[in-house]
Structure formats: C-alpha cells, structure tokens
Amino acid sequence: MALIVHKYGGTSMGSTERIRNVAKRVAKWARAGHQMVVVPSAMSGETNRLLGLAKELAPTKPGDAYSRELDALAATGEQASSALLAIALQAEGMQAVSYAGWQVTIKTNNAYTKARIESIDDERVRADLSAGKVVIITGFQGVDDGGNVTTLGRGGSDTSAVAVAAALKAHECLIYTDVDGVYTTDPRVVPEARRLHTVSFEEMLEMASMGSKVLQIRSVEFAGKYKVPLRVLSSFTEWDIDINEEAKSGTLISFEEDENMEQAIVSGIAFNRDEAKISVLGVPDTPGIAYQILGAVADANIEVDVIIQNISKDGKTDFSFTVHRNDYSKAVDLLKTQVLPKLGAQEVTGDAKICKVSIVGIGMRSHVGIASKMFRVLSEEGINIQMISTSEIKTSVVIDEKYMELAVRALHKAFDLDQPTV
C-alpha cells in the first residue's frame, strides 16, 4: 500500500462525463489498496471564463489593484471541480472529502496571482487517509497569512500536486493530462514529436522554464527539491486498464542519468510566446547600470529572463531584456518614468511580438557545435536572432513571434527528434 497523489488537468476534468471517469480511475487505485490524494484543476475553460468576467467589469491584469479579487474569483474554479469529484467518488461508493487550499491549509506568500507555497499542514489530510477516505485538494490555490485566498499562477495545479506529494512524502505524484507524456516538443505544433519514456529532472526543469506548458516550472522545482517521483501520463486511456500497466505508462521524470535515459544530445525543444523584449538605449556605460535598471524592475516584483548588454560606443551602451508579457507595460512605464531620467538614457523601446525558442538536452554538456547548428538552421530559414542565452544544457534564442512554428519544426527535424532513438 502506498500513498499516491494524482493530479488531473482542466481537460481531464472538462465535463461531468470526464469527472466520472476520473472518479472511476481514482476508485480503482484506492481499491488496489493505495491511499489516494487527488488534486484537480478547474474544468477546462473555467479559469479563463472567470477572469474574462472580471475583465468585462474592469481592465484587470496580474499585479494591479484588483489582484486580490482576481484570486478570490479564479480559485472558485478548482473549488467547484474538487467538490464535483468528491460527489462522483461518493457516487462510486467511495468515501471522499474535498478541501479548498485554506481548509488544508496550504500557506502561501501574498503575491496575488503568482503566490508561492510556503507550507502545507498535512494533519487533516493524514487523518482522513487513515480513516480510509480519498482526499481531494483544490489545485492552484492557497491562503496567505492574512487569510486571503491566493492563486499560484496559470498552470499552478501541477505545483499544488507536487507540493502536496512532497508534504505527504507520497510514493509518487502522477500528473494526468490530455497528452500521454512529455514529448520532444509540443505535439500540437509538431505532429512528428515523439514521447519520451524518461526525461531527466534537469531537462524537464529547462523545458518547463523555457515554456513547455506540460508542467508548470515550479512543480518541477518542488519535485527536485523534495525528490518527488513524478510521472506525466494520459487521463484519456480507458479508466479500467490494468493498474500496473498504467503505473508504467507516460513519461517518468528521472533523477538519475541511467542507461535507460534516451541518449539524444538534444532531448527537446521548448517555446514561449509569453515574453516581451524591452531595450534601454543610450545608457552611459558606467558601473552599476545593470543594477539601476534591473534593480528597479525587480523591486516592482517583475521577473526578468534573457538579458543582453551591447558593447559601448562613445561611452554609451544599449541594454535589453525580456519580461513576461503581462508585466510589459508596467515595466516600460517604470523605466520611462523612474529609471530613464535618473540614468540619463536616451530611450526605452519594446517589442511584445517576440518568442523564445530553446533546445534542451543534457548531452549538450559533452558535445560542441550544438548551438552553432541551431543558429545555422535558423539562418537557413531566414530567421533573424534577436537575443541568445545559454546554460550548460540549453540554448535559447529570441526571435520574431511570427517565425515560431517554422523555427520549432526546422529545429525538431534538424536535431532528428522525429527519429526513434536506438
């Protein structure tokens, strides 16, 4: 008997029919003798619908004055799906109880719309599990010290599930979704993408942080920090398939580089359309410039991603970086009103129509020429590279958004990701 956490995404919870299927699957696992904790997302489209209603009333966006209410609103999606799942499980003859984040409690900081989990009290959950109940915990939400409901950022139910699994020291956290695992790239963009049987934790971390929406980045960070065994698998298989077969399906996020790891140099391609580029032009090239620009941005709680500073000409330089598109106008305003006058820089410009494409693979550590091959492939397609950033196991480029799919497809082919590995 093991304690298992299942997470079901929005599409998997998308109708009463699908919720019934989830209940049957969870009941199968419970009847096989496992202690079951389930973390559902809101039914598909629900979070967008709720946030859309708010937008009809006021032009809301994360970080603005309405953020507290946006969280109170968006969190109801998961509360509804959790209760529905509890009802479906009870209708299957199981004992089941659902809890909202504040009832568990899942404590977060107070950064509305992108809160971070700080602690999880497992007492109530453990008591229910010992009493033989299936426990359902809302994904995506928590509560801050002031008792305010918070949400964890889009896709945050993955993080809830992994954090719950870590707190309960679960045997495994299974992320059920609408694809049957982690692919070499998004199969919706490249139909030839292949499912990976295993992906190393480090690669998954890079892929998620570079924009692969299959797992929210923080869920992977949690899995790494607490060594939570993690698997991504399909919720669209028949609910009554053999449990042992199901337990081995999908993609395992592995913490060890063993002989079973697929040996490709580049394992996957990620892309991200959620960023925008900002350039501060004509900055005096003196010590402390990067700090003055990025310090102000960080103080406004805006995360910065790719950064480049050009060589200086006549004592002046240009400084560019990317931020999340949601933070774009806030960052530009801030730079124009507060930083530009102080620095004596000439101009702040920006481009929200960019995307970032990344190749990821632990094999890049031991092979040279991978980044240059990437640049060659892009140049052959006539795609201009605006920014480059690298780590030991990834190379990312910022390009015009309109070339994203072309770039991803060309790179996927050039690195033989459509070919089965030996």
Residues with Cβ within 8 Å of residue 120, at least 6 apart in sequence: 104, 105, 106, 107, 163, 164, 167
- Cα separation, 58 vs 135, in Å, equals 37
CB of 238 to ligand ASP, least distance (A): 24
Q: How far is C-alpha 23 from the geometric centre of its chain's CA atoms? A: 25
Element of type H or E holding 76: helix 67-91
Q: Does 279 bind ligand ASP (CB under 6 A)?
A: no
Spell out the alpha helix ranges (H) of 111-185. Answer: 123-130, 157-167
**Which one of the spans 48-56, 102-110, 174-182, 280-288 is the region binding ligand ADP (CB under 6 A)?**
174-182
Cβ proximity to ligand ASP, 14 vs 361, nearer residue: 14
Maximum pairwise Cα distance, the chain: 77
Q: Does 185 bind ligand ADP (CB under 6 A)?
A: yes
- Cα separation, 49 vs 101, in Å, equals 21
Contact residue for ligand ADP among 188, 248, 365, 367 (CB under 6 A)? 188
Q: Does 213 bind ligand ADP (CB under 6 A)?
A: yes
CB of 152 to ligand ADP, least distance (A): 13
| Residues across the chain | 422
Among Mg ion, ligand ASP, ligand ADP, none, residue 188 binds (CB under 5-8 Å by kind): ligand ADP
| Total residues interacting with ligand ASP, rule: CB under 6 A | 12
Are 64 and 104 in contact by the 8 Å Cβ rule? The answer is no
Contact residue for ligand ADP among 47, 177, 249, 396 (CB under 6 A)? 177
Calculate ∠ Cα 115-387-290, nearest 5°. 65
Q: Does 24 bind ligand ADP (CB under 6 A)?
A: no
Q: Does 219 bind ligand ASP (CB under 6 A)?
A: no
Among ligand ASP, Mg ion, ligand ADP, none, residue 14 binds (CB under 5-8 Å by kind): none
Residues 4-23 binding ligand ADP (CB under 6 A) are 9-12
Among Mg ion, ligand ASP, ligand ADP, none, residue 214 binds (CB under 5-8 Å by kind): ligand ADP
| Total residues interacting with ligand ADP, rule: CB under 6 A | 19
- Cα separation, 407 vs 257, in Å, equals 29
Contact residue for ligand ASP among 101, 139, 142, 250 (CB under 6 A)? 139
Comparing every residue's Cβ against Mg ion, the nearest one is: 155
- Cα separation, 163 vs 420, in Å, equals 34
Q: Does 183 bind ligand ADP (CB under 6 A)?
A: yes
Residues 148-167 binding ligand ASP (CB under 6 A) are 154-157
Calculate ∠ Cα 369-372-376, nearest 5°. 135
Contact residue for ligand ADP among 182, 208, 387, 411 (CB under 6 A)? 182
From 346, 328, 342, 315, select the one nearest 273 (Cα to Cα).
328
Contact residue for ligand ASP among 140, 183, 201, 319 (CB under 6 A)? 140
Contact residue for ligand ASP among 23, 42, 104, 359 (CB under 6 A)? 42
Rounded to 5 degrees, φ, ψ at 62 are: -55, 140
From 384, 365, 371, select the one nearest 411 (Cα to Cα).
371
Cβ proximity to ligand ASP, 47 vs 396, nearer residue: 47
Angle between helices 217-226 and 157-167 (to 10 degrees): 10
CB of 197 to Mg ion, least distance (A): 21
**Which one of the spans 88-96, 109-117, 211-219, 278-286 is the region binding ligand ADP (CB under 6 A)?**
211-219
| Both tokens assigned to 204 | 């998954």
- Cα separation, 10 vs 386, in Å, equals 35
Single-letter code of the amino acid located at 165: A
Q: How many CA atoms lie within 13 A of 368 on its CB side?
A: 0
Contact residue for ligand ASP among 77, 101, 181, 350 (CB under 6 A)? 77
Are 70 and 112 in contact by the 8 Å Cβ rule? The answer is yes
Q: Does 10 bind ligand ASP (CB under 6 A)?
A: yes
Give contact residues for ligand ASP (rule: CB under 6 A): 9-10, 41-42, 47, 77, 139-140, 154-157
Give contact residues for ligand ADP (rule: CB under 6 A): 9-12, 41, 155, 177-179, 182-183, 185-188, 212-214, 268
